[in-house]
């Protein structure tokens, strides 16, 4: 038994002695760095470079638990932690954490976190977080968070949050939030919010989007920007400080009283509307939402094309059945004051209703007029009717 143990021990010690001797020879480079082809560390300072490990740049660095080096030109592998006091040119891979206090040129990969103090040229990939305190020329991929304290030229992809303290040229994709403290030239896509403190030249898609100015496209439930240089914003609510906002009061063939608010840009605005009327012993009210665009004709004349969908409620409560009134209208307006316009034009209307009588028979809606009908069909669940109409109103 002792002979077997000795048989294994002798090769092991011979290997250690060989590696120690091989790594002991250091060469000085033109920039004054001391380089060694190989180093092995169990846990710093227990290793072939000993307490002086921070003075040497290694071509190959193997750290059983945690190791320290003066830099890497090749590859550094550690089961837990790698720390480089200088730059890494090549690969740095650890089970938990990688740290480079110089630049990172290559791939930094860890199970938890990567930290790089200098410029990143390459890729940071971690299970939780990546932090780079200099410019990123490449990609940060973090399971939860990516942070770059200067410009990102490439991409940031995170499960939760991406932060670029400078401008971003490329893409930010996050499960929750993307933040670019400067301009954004590319795309921001998130599950919750996108923020570009400077100019957006590209696309923002999220529940809420903010950019100081837009040259591209915003898509979300809430979009906010100071101006749209070129492109469009589309959402449930879009606020453009220097944009298009109008209030309208209108009458038409279906409802006698209609109020609408338009917000966005003249190229594409969102319409919020509510309609009201009484007929015999019945009260109708209809909230709606739509999209529209403005086409200038002359200094005082414009044309608007609006598409609006409304749910019509019969009586004071909410009608649970589908009872839609959909309108495509073309209005021509004339400016009669500094802000006051009068407008009018034709419309195409389609009602879709699933209202039934007490016996369960499909009867459809009762809000549309008797004249102007183009077609009427009863299907299995809904009755569909199309008819022409008109619009007259004032706009502020």
Say which residue the tokens 């028979």 belong to: 361
Hey, which CATH number is domain 244-395, 2.60.40, 2.40.160, 2.60.120, 3.40.50?
2.40.160
Which helix or strand (DSSP H or E) is residue 4 part of? helix 2-24
Does residue 293 have a cis peptide bond before it, meaning omega lies within 30 degrees of 0?
no
Please list, in sequence order, all residues whose beta carbon lies within 8 angstroms of the beta carbon of residue 167, skipping any fewer than 6 positions away. Answer: 151, 152, 180, 181, 182, 183, 184, 185, 198
Q: Look up the pTM and report it.
A: 0.82
HSE of 317, CA atoms in CB hemisphere, 13 A: 3
Which pLDDT does position 3 carry in this prediction?
A: 44
Instruction: For residue 260, list its beta bridge partners.
Output: 248, 273
Distance of alpha carbon 20 from alpha carbon 25, whole angstroms: 9
Q: Where are the domains of the chain?
A: 244-395
Question: Partners of 52 in the beta sheet?
Answer: none
Element (H, E) at 18: helix 2-24
Q: What dihedral angle (degrees, nearest 10) is formed by the CA atoms of 273, 278, 283, 285? A: 0
Q: Within a 10 A sphere around the Cβ of 340, how many other Cβ atoms?
A: 11
Closest CA to 63 of 86, 38, 88: 38
Average pLDDT per block of 10 residues along the chain, 396 residues long: 42 42 49 84 95 95 96 96 96 97 96 96 97 96 97 97 97 98 97 97 98 96 94 92 95 96 94 92 93 95 97 87 96 93 97 90 91 92 96 96
pLDDT of residue 27: 57
């Amino acid at each position: 038994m002792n002979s077997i143990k000795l048989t294994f021990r002798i090769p092991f010690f011979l290997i250690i002695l060989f590696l120690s001797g091989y790594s002991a020879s250091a060469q000085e480079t033109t920039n004054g760095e001391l380089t060694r082809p190989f180093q092995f560390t169990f846990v710093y300072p227990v290793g072939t470079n000993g307490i002086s490990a921070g003075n040497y740049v290694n071509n190959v660095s193997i750290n059983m638990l945690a190791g320290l080096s003066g830099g890497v030109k090749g590859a550094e592998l550690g089961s837990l932690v790698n720390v480089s006091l200088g730059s890494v040119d090549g690969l740095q891979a650890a089970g938990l954490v990688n740290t480079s206090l110089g630049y990172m040129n290559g791939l930094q990969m860890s199970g938890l976190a990567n930290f790089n103090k200098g410029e990143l040229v390459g890729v940071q990939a971690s299970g939780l977080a990546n932090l780079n305190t200099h410019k990123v020329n490449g990609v940060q991929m973090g399971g939860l968070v990516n942070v770059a304290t200067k410009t990102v030229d490439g991409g940031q992809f995170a499960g939760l949050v991406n932060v670029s303290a400078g401008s971003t040229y490329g893409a930010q994709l996050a499960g929750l939030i993307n933040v670019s403290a400067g301009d954004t030239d590319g795309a921001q896509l998130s599950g919750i919010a996108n923020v570009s403190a400077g100019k957006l030249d590209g696309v923002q898609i999220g529940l809420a989007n903010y950019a100081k100015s837009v040259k591209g496209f915003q898509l979300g439930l809430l979009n906010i920007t100071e101006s749209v240089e070129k492109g469009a914003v589309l959402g449930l609510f879009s606020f453009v400080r220097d944009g298009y906002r109008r209030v309208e009061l209108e009458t038409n063939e279906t409802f006698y009283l209609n109020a609408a608010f338009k917000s966005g840009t003249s190229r594409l605005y969102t319409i919020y509307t509510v309609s009201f009327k009484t007929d015999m012993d019945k009260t109708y009210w209809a909230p709606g939402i739509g999209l529209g665009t403005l086409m200038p004709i002359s200094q005082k004349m414009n044309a608007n094309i609006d598409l609006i969908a409304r749910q019509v409620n019969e009586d004071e409560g909410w009608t649970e059945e589908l009872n839609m009134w959909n309108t495509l209208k073309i209005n021509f307006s004339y400016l009669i004051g500094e802000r006051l316009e009068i407008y009018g034009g034709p419309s195409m209307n389609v009602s879709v209703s699933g209202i039934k009588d007490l016996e369960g028979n499909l009867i459809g809606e009762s809000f549309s007029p008797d004249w102007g009908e183009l077609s009427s069909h009863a299907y299995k669940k809904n009755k569909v009717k199309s008819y022409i109409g008109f619009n007259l109103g004032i706009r502020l």
